[in-house]
Amino acid sequence: MNMRPQLVGAIWTLLVGIEIGVAATKPDSSLAHGFADATYGSSSNGSATCVAGLISVPATSVNTKILLDEPANQTVVTEIIQENFQASSTISDRTDGGNVNISGTYNIEATLCVPKHNPEASTIQILSHGIGLDQSYWDIATGYSYVDSAANAGYATLAYNRLGVGASDHPDAIQVVQAPMDVAILHGITSLLRSGSIGTQAYSTVIGTGHSYGSIIQLGQNVKYPQDVNATVITSFTTNFDYLPYTVFANNPAIANQVDGKRFENLSNGYLITDTSISFQLPFFRWPYFDTEIYQNQYEARNTYTVGQQLTLSGIVAVASSYTGPVSVVVGQYDFPFCGGNCSYSTNQAAEALSSLYPAAAESSQTYLVPNAGHVINAHYSAPDQFMKINNFLSSQGF
C-alpha cells in the first residue's frame, strides 16, 4: 500500500498547525505603531506582551540659559556640585541667564507593554524612572516587575528612558537636558498616547507613575498640565529636601565617559553617573532587605544624568493646586534621600507630601510607607507588596 499521500498530508497538516500556532502567538504588529527599530518581547514574569524601540516626541519647554561652559574635567564637575549645595549658595542666581525657549522632536527609547489576558486595555500607566536609573527599574526580574503587576491588574504600561538616558537622544547636557524639558517630554508622551499615535489605540485613561526624580517630573506635569493624567502615583519622593545634598554627595557624581568609556564615550562632560557600587548603595538601598543579585542588576544598569538637571531640578517642585485626581504617595520606610532614613520621623513623610503638594486631590487619595525598603523600592524584597498596594488602589478608583 502506497502511504506517501497520507504521509505528505500528515506532514502538511502538522506544518499548517505549527504556522497557525505561530500566528496565534505572534504579537499584533500594530502594537509597534509609532515605534522605530521595534523589537518584541515579554515582561519578566510573562504577563505582558511588549514592544520596544524609539518614539519621536515633540517637546517645547522654557529652560534656563545656564551661564556655564561644558566642564573641562572632573575637578570642575565636583566644584559645581559642591557650590550647588553649599550654605547660602549663589550658583543658581549667578548662572541664571534668563529664560530660553527650547523646542525639538526627540527620539525617546520606550517599551510599551499590554496585558496578555487583555491586550485591548484602555488604561495605561506612564512609568518615569529616577536619576541614576533607567527604564529597567520597572521590569527588573521575575518577582521584581512592576510591569507584570500592572498587567495582572489589567493595565498597559509605557516605560521610557528620559532624554539623555540609554538610547534616547543626548542633546546639550547643560542647556537642553533640564528639568523643565523632562516635564515637556512627559507631556509629549502623554499626548501621543491619548491621540493614538503610539500602539494599537488612543488610550482614554492615562495614569502617571513616577519614582524619585521621575516623581518630581510627574509632579511638574500635574502642576503645568493638570488635565494630562487621570490619576497619579508618586513613589520615593516627599517634601523633605534636607537630605538631598547628602544623597548627591554619596552618589559621587562622576563624568560618565571617564567612568565607562565603552558605554559613554561619545557623551560630553556634562553627562554624569553614580561612580561606584558604594556610591549606589549608600543612599538607595537598605541592607538586609534586598537581594544582592537584584542590587547588582540595577547597579550595572545605572545610567546618566546631567549638570543641567542638577541645577534646575528644584525649579519644577511646586504645589499642584489645580490637580483634582486621585493620588497615591508610596515611600520606603528607610528612604534616605527624602526622609533621612526614617519616613515616620517626625511625622509620616508620605502623608505630609500628599497634603502639601496635592491640596485639591481626590478624597480617596492615599499614602503607604513600604516596610523594610530603602529608596529604590522596586529592588527590595517588599517590592511585590507595594506593587499590589499601588495597583489595588488604582483599581479601587475605577480605573
d(CA 64, CA 281) in angstroms, rounded, equals: 32
**265 Cβ neighbours under 8 A, 6+ residues apart:** 257
Banded pLDDT at 27 (limits 50, 70, 90)? low
DSSP secondary structure of 27-93: PPGGGGTT-EEEEEEE-TTS-EEEEEEEEEEEEEEEEEEE--PPPSSHHHHHHHHHHHHSTT--HHH
Residue 3 has a pLDDT of: 39
The answer, yes or no, to whether residue 1 has pLDDT greater than 60, is no
Banded pLDDT at 9 (limits 50, 70, 90)? very low
Is 186 within 8 Å of 73 (Cβ atoms)? no
Is 87 within 8 Å of 202 (Cβ atoms)? no
DSSP-based helix, strand, coil % in the chain, nearest 5:
40, 25, 40
The answer, yes or no, to whether residue 12 has pLDDT greater than 60, is no
pLDDT per residue as tens digits for the range 136-161:
999 999 999 999 999 999 999 999 99
pLDDT per residue as tens digits for the range 62-73:
999 999 999 999
The number of angstroms, rounded, from the C-alpha of 345 to the middle of its chain's C-alpha atoms is: 27
Banded pLDDT at 197 (limits 50, 70, 90)? very high
For the chain, give the percent of residues with pLDDT over 90: 92
User: 135: which DSSP letter?
Assistant: G
Domains, the chain, in order of start with CATH, read: 29-396 (3.40.50.1820)
Residue 29 has a pLDDT of: 82
pLDDT per residue as tens digits for the range 219-260:
999 999 999 999 999 999 999 999 999 999 999 999 999 999
| Pairing between β-strand 96-115 and β-strand 123-128 as defined by DSSP bridges | unpaired
Residue 17 has a pLDDT of: 35
Residue 4 has a pLDDT of: 38
The answer, yes or no, to whether residue 15 has pLDDT greater than 60, is no
**Phi and psi, residue 215, nearest 5°:** -70, -35
The answer, yes or no, to whether residue 285 has pLDDT greater than 90, is yes
Residue 389 has a pLDDT of: 98
d(CA 9, CA 287) in angstroms, rounded, equals: 63
pLDDT per residue as tens digits for the range 319-376:
999 999 999 999 999 999 999 999 999 999 999 999 999 999 999 999 999 999 999 9
**107 pairs with which residues across the strands?**
56
Give the mean pLDDT of the chain: 93
pLDDT per residue as tens digits for the range 60-102:
999 999 999 999 999 999 999 999 999 999 998 999 999 999 9
Residue 26 has a pLDDT of: 54
